[in-house]
Structure 1
Amino acid sequence: MNRLIQSGLMFGNLIHVASPALVERYNRALKHLTGKTTAQTDFHIDISGFSPEIGDELDDPLYLNHNGVNRQFILLTTQQKTAPLLDAKFSTSRDILRQFIEANESQLFALTAKDAVAGELVNSVFDVSNPERLFDISNITIEADTTQGTLRDADKLATLVDRFKTEEDGWHDDVLIADMITLAKRTGDVVRNPVRLRVNTFKQENFHTSHFGGIYVFRSVEHPAAICAGDAVPGMPIAYTFTLRDRNKVAKFLDLNGLVEPIVKARGIDASAILRQKMDFIVVDVAQEAEIDLTGATRRDIRTLARRFSDRLPAEWHALSHQVRWSEGEADWPRIASDHPAYFYTLRASDTPDAELVNMLLSELSPKDIRQLYICHKEAFYAAYRGWTDTKQAYVVDFLTREYVADKAGAREALFGHDAPLEEPKPIRDDVIARVGPWGAVRR
């Protein structure tokens, strides 16, 4: 994996911690949360304050995420909001942390100027050894304070100030005044400059979890379901459970809930360019099997390989080629059924609040599209990367460095951005669906 790390495709955009003052603050927070400290004097942290170097030192990659739930965090700087979240057990965790930092940025900036802020993403579940417990997670509340209890003291001081103002003999209560002065030395003037974080509670309705081999949970859509990346997980309290192998059912689920749209019919994008790139990735897969050296391969080289190995190109490549010709007015509309291996390569998430989650799911259903897999599901990308030949690894790293890392925002917008729709989508429903559900009376 060194090639990925050196190119910034793995552990990229982490925050470097090398200042003795910041290391000392980190250790105070780490001791406060876990009872442990680090001997590291130079390390990197993600948005939650997790450090891969410290994880190796402690031999505990979950030292801030015990049992994979109720993730703890250490904030040394508000700049952490731009960092990734490593080894995320829930797809919503990074977004919750980022929203928390942005909503309280000025307060956190002031607090982290003197101390680390330590906290936890709290829900009512402390163990998910039983899959049913996943469905007990609905609201995530962030609890946070500095290691010296600045926020706790500020709340206490505010209470004392109220007493001082309202109690009849407050001006003559020497003990009350002495307590206020003592606390004010630690918190500052909480009357003019209140030190208080917003109470942040976030709903977690639809999400992906890496527990139980990976599960996509969709609870707030019209037709709820859980989709397992591995084998079906029994005992989940939801009407329908599928696996990624249930392609027809997954496709129907996505369609009925209006979660996807065909790439060739999406507005504001170059559909042909996107599909041609997917075709190139499929050619690279064929070239790997043929043990072709892909070092420095250009798009022209990939097209040459496509001609050379035309008899080996799989059904996905030919179906996407047909769609490209249709989009350019050179062929009839290709009918690609949901059980066709190219089907999910032809889709992207529609403009819904769950677009990122849906694109993550699509990336697992179209794994040869290495760009989408890297952008939307890094853990799945890293797992696939380990099984590739050295020549394919080199090609993929070179491609992503040139075509994605150079302009991440532009690439994401070109692939997944949404223009305003021409008209409001109409709800898809009929009497049969209303009576027995979209997949009939089948339950697992």
Structure 2
Amino acid sequence: MQRLIKRGLMFGNLFHVDSPALVDRYNRALQHLTGKRTTETDFHIDISGYSPEVGDELGDHLYLNHAGVNRQFILLSMEQRTAPLLNAKFSTSRGILQQFIAENEAQLFALTARDAVAGELVNSVFDVSEPRRLFDLRRVKVEADTTAGTVRDAEKLGQMVERFRTEKDGWYDDVLIAQMIELAGKTGDVVRNPVKLRQMSFDQRNFWTAHFGGLYLFQDLDHPAVVAPSGKDHLGDLPIKYVFDADDRNQLAKFFEYNGLTETIVEARGINSAAILRQKMDFILIDAVADEGGDLTGATRADMRRLAREHAGKLPEEFHALGALVNWAENGGNWPRITSDHPAYFYTLRASDTKDAELVNMLLAELAPKDARQMFICHKELFYKTYARWPEAKKAYVADFLVAEYQVDKAGARAALFGHDAPMEPPAPRKPDPVSDLIARVGPWGAVRER
């Protein structure tokens, strides 16, 4: 992992806490949330305030995320908003924190100038001891204040000011005036500069969780389902009809299709589909030949072709199928029939333009695990776990590629791979048909075991 850390591919873009003032604020917030303190004087934190160094010191890397639910957070600086979220247990958590920071930018900027802001992503579930409990996670509410209670005191002062203005004898209430003066010394002028954080809550219906081996819950769809790529037999009875794992390839393909969640790369508008497919082939090639022990540093396109020729006998079906697809796209070759049973099928897909595009691309990264680039971009938790098991040659090649081709322009790379052009005109309404009516009555996946 040191290679990834040194190249900024792991623990990159964390906020550096290295001044006595920031350390003191962090400790006040940590004491406020958990009753713990750190003796570290130089450490790094993610968007939620979690620090790998502090986690090592405390012997608990979930010290701000007990039991993996209701994640707590510590904000020391607005710079944290661009930091990653480490040890993520839910795919929605970083986005929620980013939206909370964006919606309260001015207030948080003022508050963090003097104190740390401590808070929690709150829902009604305090443990997920069994998979069924995940279905109780419907909304997440953000609660936050400074460690000194500035927001709470400002709200109280605001109420006092209103009493002072509206009550008949407010001008003569010496006790009320004294209390207002005392609170104003803590909060400042709340009339001219209101200190208030916007109360925010977020729906959490479609999400990924790291619990139970990694699950994708798609509840807010026309045809809902749970996807457990690593296996579903341990999940027990769930309050949803359809549960799939990575072996249910045909059902997964239909699930994507009926919900309009995916599109084929070659049919997507505004991207260089052949270049994307060719790069996927390179990763599949490297996966197949890396254990040979050769040096793959700085491998060129000619080197990749040479490797493909030399190792043609051991290249998997995915490589040859994507090659045929590239040949069709560039040279007008025969259209290759790649069905959902084929190992290359999920390599040919990407998320369509829906609100769940990031979640779908995350799932596709699990279903097409040899595409190291997509896994790194869309599912870092899985990437780091998988990377640790790779041969050294593959580790070096992938790290070099990500530094050269992704780190230099992250936004551009994401747009080129997963972006969507605006449609030229709205699609025509779909006419009802007997097949759609049948799907609506009995479900789209046929004889699948109910749960």
What's the TM-score once normalised by structure 1's chain length? 0.98
One of 296, 316, 322 as aligned partner of 2:318: 316
1:207 counterpart SS class = strand
Q: Counterpart of 1:424?
A: 427
- Distance across 2 between alignment mates of 1:143 and 1:217: 25
CA distance in 1, matches of 2:301, 2:34: 50
Kept after mapping to 2: 8 A contact 1:283/1:313: yes
**Residue number among 276, 279, 282 corresponding to 2:278 in the alignment:** 276
C-alpha displacement at 1:299, in angstroms?
Answer: 2.7
**Structure 2: any 5+ residue segments left out of the alignment?**
none
What is the match of residue 93 of structure 1? 93
Match of 1:224 in 2: 224
Gap change, CA 1:76 and 1:327, over 3 Å in 2: same
CA RMSD of superposed structures (Å): 1.2
Aligned match of 2:411: 409
Aligned counterpart, 1:382: 384
Stretch of structure 1 that moved more, 298-307 or 177-186: 298-307
For the residue of structure 2 that corresponds to 1:144, the secondary structure is strand
* Selected match of 1:360 from 341, 346, 362: 362
Q: Distance in 1 between matches of 2:422 and 2:163?
A: 54
Taking the aligned partners of 1:265 and 1:332, their CA distance within structure 2 comes to: 16
AA of the residue aligned to 1:320 = L
Change (3 A) 1:305 1:50: same
CA distance in 1, matches of 2:367, 2:447: 25
Name the residue aligned to 1:301.
Answer: 303
Aligned equivalent of 1:263: 265
Counterparts of 1:137-156 in structure 2, within 5 Å, are 137-156=137-156
Query: Mean alpha-carbon deviation: is it higher for 279-288 or for 353-362?
Result: 279-288
One-letter amino acid matched to 2:437:
D
In 2, Cα distance between the equivalents of 1:362 and 1:436? Answer: 26
Structure 1 equivalent of residue 334 of structure 2 = 332
Distance in 1, Cα, partners of 2:22 & 2:247: 48
Partner residue in 2 for 1:439: 445
Between the two proteins, what is the percent identity of the paired residues? 66
Matches within 5 A, 1:38-117: 38-117=38-117
Q: Give the conservation status (yes or no) of the 8 Å contact 1:120–1:143.
A: yes
Deviation at 1:301, TM superposition (A): 1.2
AA paired with 2:128?
A: V
1:116-165 C-alpha deviation (Å, 9 max, x unpaired): 00000000000000111101011100000000000010011001101101
Distance 2:181 2:109 in 1: 24
Q: How many residues in Structure 1 have an aligned counterpart in Structure 2?
A: 444
Cα distance between partner residues in 2 of 1:188 and 1:374: 46
Which aligned segments of 4 or more residues in structure 1 are displaced greater than 4 angstroms? Answer: 425-429
Instruction: Describe the superposition over 1:389-410 as per-residue Cα deviations: whole angstroms up to 9, x where unpaired.
Output: 1111111111110011111111
Q: For residues 434 and 23 of structure 1, what CA distance do their matches in structure 2 show?
A: 57
C-alpha displacement of 1:304: 1.2
Partners of 1:150 and 1:229 in 2: how far apart?
A: 45
Asked if structure 1 preserves the Cα contact closer than 8 Å seen for 2:291 and 2:393, the reply is no
Structure 1 distance, partners of 2:264, 2:346, is 9
* 1:287 counterpart residue number: 289
**1: CA distance, partners of 2:228 / 2:146:** 39
> Please, which runs of 5 or more residues in structure 1 have no aligned partner?
none
Q: Does 1:346 align with 2:348?
A: yes
SS of the aligned residue for 1:289 comes to helix
- Structure 2 distance, partners of 1:21, 1:63, is 22
AA at the equivalent of 1:145: D
Equivalent-residue separation in structure 2 for 1:389 and 1:279 (angstroms): 18
Counterpart amino acid of 1:16?
Answer: H
